[in-house]
Amino acid sequence: MSSAACRTPLTVPDPHPSVAAVRLAVREALRDTADGELVCAAVSGGADSLALLAALAFEAPRHGRRAGMIHVDHGLVPGSADQAERVESQARQLGVTDVHVISSDGRSRTGEGPEGAARRARYSAFALAARRTGYRHLYLAHTVDDQAEQVLLGLARGSGTRSLAGMPATRGELRRPLLHLTHAMLVEACRQQHLEPWSDPSNDDPAMTRNRVRHRVMPVLEAELGPGIVAALARTASLARADADLLDVLAREAWVRCERGPAGGAPVLDVSALVAEPDALRGRVLRRLLLDSGAPAGDLTLGHVQSVSRLVTDWHGQGPVCIPGGLVAVRRYDTLVVEKP
């Protein structure tokens, strides 16, 4: 028998379950993309985003896609420029050549918290990267742990159903393929692939509400209610999202019933029609009225909507209601309008 016939076929070991799970999630997400398309991952360099990038670098070329990476340097922590170089180097070691590092001002503006400022700067950078690269899909590395924290934050703020719905898996060009996986699994995926995640010092800053939820509140809940609390909160988000989606559809139909037409470019609502709507729909219609009239979404609260609602349901001749953006909501006979005072 020849020596060639005696050779043992070369076998490739199966990946660790954590690595396989991340790759499978990315593979499923790639079904929504086209042949030859550039698909980018937003990468901070932490374990979650690094595991996502490694999976995208592995799966994209096997399915006829191009893998890209976007890193946003907020310039808020010492050594952030060095970290940006490190992230870029790791991306190239993984075989990703379409790499974009964008500097963005993450400092807070007046009335804006540090988390909100970083989020605003990050999404502005994403929009800039989209214009530069032409990508149509951007993958974010949020996990089931992030989703649970989001629901808790919504509960703490006393927000409505949409806030309790947490982060959607898909919104515009954004994709969150890892929402069903845990942070611990992604840490293990990095370890198995000999990747070296960066630990952002701001993630331990107790001044940030999310950090207090992550490091203080969640451990107490798990200790008192059991380790299934993360999955339970994520299920709450899924159920709330289905309800919120339906309510949004019904609210659009209610808007059509209540709108009389624009007055000088601003919408006018019929009070009699508003009174006939259920509270849940009336509130959504009124919020849309305020937003469409120019009220900034970030400053608009439930209290503003409720005050305007009283012009409809508890009318006794009261004056205009002040709304963020230098606006007032005014009832005139059987109509409701928002205008500059």
- Considering its fold, how many domains does the chain have in total? 2
Phi-psi category of residue 75: left, alpha or beta, with phi > 0 → left and psi -120 to 50 → alpha: left
Asked whether the predicted pLDDT for residue 3 surpasses 80, the reply is: no
What tens digit of pLDDT does each residue of 271-293 get?
999 999 999 999 999 999 999 99
Give the residue numbers spanning the domain of 57: 17-237
Within-domain flag for 3? no
Within-domain flag for 116? yes
Question: What is the model's pLDDT at position 129?
Answer: 83
| 188 and 58 assigned to the same domain | yes
d(CA 269, CA 285): 9
d(CA 224, CA 112): 34
| 106 and 223 assigned to the same domain | yes
What tens digit of pLDDT does each residue of 164-207 get?
999 999 999 999 999 999 999 999 999 999 999 988 777 788 88
Within-domain flag for 255? no
What tens digit of pLDDT does each residue of 96-145 get?
999 998 887 656 555 556 676 777 778 888 888 888 888 899 999 999 99
CATH of the domain at 282: 3.30.465.60
Question: What is the model's pLDDT at position 204?
Answer: 81
| 95 and 211 assigned to the same domain | yes
Q: What is the largest CA-CA distance in the chain?
A: 103
| 180 and 301 assigned to the same domain | no
Encoded tokens for 16: 């660790």
pTM confidence score: 0.84
**What average pLDDT does the chain have?**
89
C-alpha 182: how far from its chain's center? 17
**Amino acid occupying residue 162:** R
| 79 and 186 assigned to the same domain | yes
What tens digit of pLDDT does each residue of 41-59 get?
999 999 999 999 999 999 9
Q: What integer is the mean pLDDT of 328-337? A: 94
CATH of the domain at 68: 3.40.50.620
pLDDT band (50, 70, 90) for residue 225: very high
Within-domain flag for 248? no
| 231 and 274 assigned to the same domain | no
Among 155, 119, 140, 139, residue whose Cα is nearest residue 229: 155
| 313 and 171 assigned to the same domain | no
Within-domain flag for 8? no
| 85 and 226 assigned to the same domain | yes
d(CA 159, CA 210): 16
Question: What is the model's pLDDT at position 8?
Answer: 61
| 50 and 106 assigned to the same domain | yes
Residue 206's Cβ-count burial label (10 Å; 0-12, 13-18, 19+) is exposed
